[in-house]
Structure 1
Amino acid sequence: MDFRQLGNFLHVAELQSLSRAASVLRVAQPALSRQIKSLEEELGVQLLQRHGWGVTPTPAGRVLMEHARRVLKEVGAARDAVQAYQMEPSGTVTFGTPTSLGSVMLPGLAARFRRTAPKVRLHLVEGFSASIHEWVLSGRLDLAVLYETKTMGSLATTPLLEEFMVLLGPAGRFGRGDELDLAEVAGLDLILPARPHRLRLLVDQAFAERDLSCEPVLEVDALPALIELVRMGEGCTLLPFSCVSALVEEGRLSAAAVVPAIRRSLVLARPPDRIPTPASEALERAVLAFIQAQAATLRWTVPKAVQNTVLTSPDTEEAGSTAA
């Protein structure tokens, strides 16, 4: 078994077609088929189930797919890390955020990073916080933003920001400067994500600390749909202000503060034992600079350590121009 065999097998298994994989890899289909057969004979198990319309991985094939992804990623990372010291940052880096930060952070970060590290290929991912945590822990992500919890495991983390959740309603429901006690919020028709979504757990904890119950009229895990339902007047919700800042400023939603405040803390996380590369270090600087530049607009509280890092990083001038 060699790296080329693993890579070719992964292409076939993911595309579920020998012919499509052969076209992508630019190899003859019979040669690719022989490679897969040789791999199956070497391992002593069937890796692919053949069908008239293509192939699907067997249980053993799915196990090999996961290992192949990790092995090939590490090989690529080793190559990129060594070559990167001979030139400006290059290679590929992957970055993930929870869904509640995706639309707020990923476009602006990508634009900034393309200017500061044009030779690095950036792969952006958003998902449920539990999935992002799993992917960075397994090394599928080089860097990620995660909720700060007591179960960070062996991840290397840096405090990144704190923000408050606000009560959101349709346009005109709340006035600028309005505040509602949590007991008042409990009496509203609430639309919230279902457990174990991290935002829902934060809301549940806040209600429990006040001996209040929280029974939403709707549970919606798709953030765009949840926000649209609130805009339509179907209920209210509790979300970090950064998720909806543009909609509030445009008057499409209204927001009120909640007392006592519901706070979430976010960290920047890296896989355990992963040696930083010039590309991943450049991405980390870009993330910190973006957070600092957008802090005032999105009502983020940034730790002093992040501010000091930004002030001494090569991206400082870029951060200032973005904030302006």
Structure 2
Amino acid sequence: MHYKQIRNLEIELGTTLLMRSSVGVSLTPTGQILFNRSKNIINEVNVMKREIILSQEKEKAFLTIGSWPSVATVYLPYHLAQNKRLKNRSEIKIKVSYSFFDLLNNLENRNIDAAVFNDSDVNHKFYSSPLIEEEFLLFVNRQHPKYGQKEEVSFDEMIEETFVMLAEGCDARMLVEKAFLEKGEKLNIALEIDFIEANLGISILPEIFINQLSDNIKAIPITNFKITRKISVIARKESDSKQKILIQSLKGKISMT
């Protein structure tokens, strides 16, 4: 095979490259010229490869995404890790915020490239594209005397309960408060979310929190309380190349279980 390739090269160049004798094979003067030049060509090819790699690294998009804690710790890491195209073309940082005011301000000030949160009832000037929609469930300790053994619970059963909720300004809490008001009821709020672990309270949360459940916590469907949270990706403009990569990569729904 090698002999045929060398012979074809000799025909192409119109010269003899190798001198063959009973003692072996040696380069002719023209063969020596080709050999020396070939080393230079190989070196140039290697330099070119390194330059291409460096150029591709410079073209990587450095993206910062702002989001709620629940979305930032559950949805985004999983979804971004599944997208090899985005992973290869981008370096991504996730910035956690507890208020959509902060997210929109950071977007306006270019501290983040995109925000991922529920903007259904938020007036803003940015581009928005829907990602996922999720229901709200009742989260209780499995040893809770009233709800621990239930497979579903009605809204009427919960009216007089006192709940542990997320921080004020969080969209999940605002949606639950609004739903209670629409039914002519007031949401009674007690303490922090951590108290569910110690069986000191119950909470109404989006189903994305199922992914963070410990073994002693269960999530129960609520009848007559069909509110949903719609998560969108919000960016300054759809045409921005970095944001376009991100938006296209985040589109689609993942399983919440």
TM-score higher than 0.5 here? yes
Task: Please tell me whether the aligned partners of residues 141 and 148 of structure 2 are also in contact (alpha carbons under 8 angstroms).
Answer: no
User: Which protein has greater RCO, CA pairs closer than 8 Å, 6+ apart?
Assistant: 2
Q: 1:265 aligns with which of 223, 230, 233?
A: 230
Q: Say yes or no: does 1:169 pair with 2:140.
A: yes
**Distance in structure 1 (CA, Å) of the matches to 2:167 and 2:70:** 14
Q: 1:283 aligns with which of 242, 246, 249?
A: 246
1:96-142: CA deviation from partner (whole Å, max 9, x where unpaired): 21122121123223423566442422121121133112212333221
User: Once superposed, what is the RMSD of the aligned Cα atoms?
Assistant: 2.6
Pairwise CA distance, 1:200: 1.7
Pairwise CA distance, 1:195: 3.0
Higher helix share goes to which structure? 1
Q: 1:149 aligns with which of 117, 120, 127?
A: 120
Give the TM-score, by structure 1 length.
0.55
Task: Please tell me whether the aligned partners of residues 180 and 256 of structure 1 are also in contact (alpha carbons under 8 angstroms).
Answer: yes
Pairwise CA distance, 1:202: 0.9
2:44 aligned partner: none
**Distance in structure 1 (CA, Å) of the matches to 2:150 and 2:135:** 15
Q: 2:217 aligns with which of 239, 249, 253?
A: 253
Higher strand share goes to which structure? 2
**Distance in structure 2 (CA, Å) of the matches to 1:91 and 1:193:** 33
Pairwise CA distance, 1:172: 4.5
1:43-82: CA deviation from partner (whole Å, max 9, x where unpaired): xxxxxxxxxxxxxxxxxxxxxxxxxxxxxxxxxxxxxxxx
Unaligned runs of 5+ in 1: 1-85, 221-225, 299-324
Q: Say yes or no: does 1:208 pair with 2:162.
A: no
- Shift of the 271–251 alpha-carbon distance from structure 1 to 2, 3 Å rule, reads same
1:109 aligned partner: 79
Unaligned runs of 5+ in 2: 1-54
Task: Please tell me whether the aligned partners of residues 142 and 148 of structure 2 are also in contact (alpha carbons under 8 angstroms).
Answer: no
Trace 1:92-131 onto structure 2 (pairs within 5 A).
92-113=62-83, 116-128=86-98, 129-131=100-102
Report the number of matched residues. 198
2:153 aligned partner: 180
Pairwise CA distance, 1:284: 2.2
Determine helix, strand or coil for the equivalent of 1:149: coil
Task: Please tell me whether the aligned partners of residues 138 and 271 of structure 1 are also in contact (alpha carbons under 8 angstroms).
Answer: no
Determine helix, strand or coil for the equivalent of 1:267: strand
**Distance in structure 2 (CA, Å) of the matches to 1:109 and 1:166:** 23
Pairwise CA distance, 1:196: 2.8
Task: Please tell me whether the aligned partners of residues 172 and 254 of structure 1 are also in contact (alpha carbons under 8 angstroms).
Answer: no
Determine helix, strand or coil for the equivalent of 1:195: coil
**Distance in structure 2 (CA, Å) of the matches to 1:241 and 1:151:** 21
Pairwise CA distance, 1:87: 4.8
**Distance in structure 1 (CA, Å) of the matches to 2:102 and 2:163:** 26
Pairwise CA distance, 1:194: 4.2
Structure showing greater radius of gyration is 2
Q: Say yes or no: does 1:233 pair with 2:199.
A: yes
Give the TM-score, by structure 2 length.
0.67
Q: Say yes or no: does 1:243 pair with 2:214.
A: no
**Distance in structure 1 (CA, Å) of the matches to 2:148 and 2:200:** 18
**Distance in structure 2 (CA, Å) of the matches to 1:269 and 1:251:** 34
Letter in 1 for 2:226: A
Trace 1:22-61 onto structure 2 (pairs within 5 A).
none
**Distance in structure 1 (CA, Å) of the matches to 2:65 and 2:111:** 9
